[in-house]
Amino acid sequence: MSSWTWFHRLASPPSFFRLADRLAPWLGWIALALLAYGWINGLFFAPEDYQQKDAYRIIYVHVPAAALSLSLYVGMAVAGFVALVWRMKLAESALIAIAPVGASFTALALVTGMLWGKPMWGAYWVWDARLTSELVLLFLYFGVIGLWQAFEDPRAAARACALLAVVGVINVPIVKYSVDWWNSLHQGSTILKMGKPSITAAMAWPLFASVIGSYLFAGYVILRRLQNELLQREAGTAWVRELMGKSRV
């Protein structure tokens, strides 16, 4: 039993709040450095593509956003599952903290995809499997955010959101494998596939930096949002009062 005490301590709002306070600045600054490296090199120093010329540079925004849109949904669904099964408050707060971040990166993936589609495919939008399922993903995020705002009682709201998040996770493999299952205008996965990547190092390093930087950035934002959720839920408790006392000094 004693091996679980660390878990209970971590899941308690005041200790998680303090841990997030220590962790968040590191995540934020490393994310900023990686993103600056990735985007500046992607924009100005990576060689141009032999087919797409400079238009391919959109990849440095599009791929990290698209990868995050799926990963964050899975994270949200896992938090939802934990919230449903163990009624853990921290998981409920995590679910709510992730949703707006996920929605914003899903919207970014869609918009940059449109800006890439116009010059390459000749159309901003086509109703094909990849694009449509990604749009459904955005609506799932909106659904979770809307449900959260529709309930007065935060615990009831969290249960409803968790249920939607868990059921909606079925859309994630559909987005991911849509390019293999159906004929799609969208290209298949070429960069993050196993084995030899089909991209030269001068293009690949800025891309990897952008992807990892975006993940760390999302981690930073989620920690900060989670802290706010905890403060709101625990308002009036001893640890929040103590914290406010310190911040006023």
Partner 1 sequence: MGGYGLYVWGSFGCGLAVLAWNALSPRLARRALMRQMTESE
Residues of this chain that bind partner 1 (CB under 8 A): 28, 35, 39, 43, 48, 53-55, 57-58, 60-62, 65, 100-101, 104-105, 107-108, 111-112, 115-116, 118-119, 217-218, 221, 224-225, 227-228, 231-232, 235, 240, 244, 247-248
**Least distance to partner 1 from the beta carbon of 111, Å?**
5
Which residue, 164 or 230, has its beta carbon nearer to partner 1?
230
SS (H, E, C) the chain: CHHHHHHHHHHCHHHHHHHHHHHHHHHHHHHHHHHHHHHHHHHHHCCCECCCEHHHHHHHHHHHHHHHHHHHHHHHHHHHHHHHHHCCHHHHHHHHHHHHHHHHHHHHHHHHHHHHHHHHHCCCCCCCHHHHHHHHHHHHHHHHHHHHHHCCCHHHHHHHHHHHHHHHCCHHHHHHHHHHHCCCCCCCCCCCCCCCCCCCHHHHHHHHHHHHHHHHHHHHHHHHHHHHHHHHHCCCCHHHHHHHHHHHC
Rounded Cα gap, residues 178 and 188, in angstroms: 9
> Nearer to partner 1 by C-beta: 35 or 161?
35
**Quick one: 9 or 228, whose CB is closer to partner 1?**
228
Q: Smallest gap, in angstroms, from Cβ of residue 97 to partner 1?
A: 9
Q: How far is the CB of 69 from partner 1 (least distance, A)?
A: 11
Rounded Cα gap, residues 123 and 164, in angstroms: 32
Least distance to partner 1, CB of residue 12, Å: 20
Q: How far is the CB of 244 from partner 1 (least distance, A)?
A: 6
Residue closer to partner 1 (CB basis): 107 or 204: 107
Residue for token digits 């993936």? Answer: 109
Within a 10 A sphere around the Cβ of 99, how many other Cβ atoms? 27
Instruction: Pick between residue 84 and residue 157 the one whose CB is nearest to partner 1.
Output: 157
**Least Å from the CB of residue 70 to partner 1:** 16
Q: Which of 119/146 has CB closer to partner 1? A: 119
What's the min distance (Å) between Cβ of 84 and partner 1? 25
Q: How far apart are CA 78 and CA 60, in angstroms?
A: 28
181/228 with CB nearer partner 1: 228
